[in-house]
Amino acid sequence: RLEELSQRDALTGLHNRRHLLVCLEGELERVRRGRQLAVLMIDLDGFKHINDQHGHAAGDAALKLVGRILTDHIRATDYAARLSGDEFALLWLRALPAALKRRFEALKQALNSATLEWNSRQIALKASAGAAAYDGTMTINDLMQRADKIMYRQKRVRRT
């Protein structure tokens, strides 16, 4: 029970950063033997505004909603994690390129059309996301940085 608690984010119920990295390390060994894998990095847009305008309880509710959306967009063999604050990551295993693109677009659509019902108000959620497929040569850090770079590029485009 303690081990399970040490691997989960208490607020969202998703895996935490430490556990995701352990899983990713193990999966890279399998991928080197022919499996495919992709990492998605996700960051909520305007999350500070939710906390500032509606309070931290609303922010917590928004994070829980994102956790549910991410859980709905993974299979039993995949992993979803809250890295910190309003940053999340998904580890999609056996991620064939055509399916990855469809799944990625569906996830972005779900995140960017989600609304949180809070005190008789609807708060729209928005998120930027980036995906990177493992190419057989990258380190874990390289893979996550590639997905992160794509996510931040999208975030900059969305601001303009």
Angle at 114 between CA 109 and CA 116, to 5 degrees: 170
* Tokens 């493992």, residue located: 134
Please report the DSSP string for 72-120 in residue order. Answer: HTS-TT-EEEEEETTEEEEEEES--HHHHHHHHHHHHHHHHH-EEEETT
Amino acid code (one letter) for 3: E
**Collapsing DSSP states into helix, strand and coil, what is residue 137?**
coil
**Pair of tokens at residue 31:** 């991928």
Residues annotated as part of the active site: 86
DSSP 3-state assignment of 19? helix
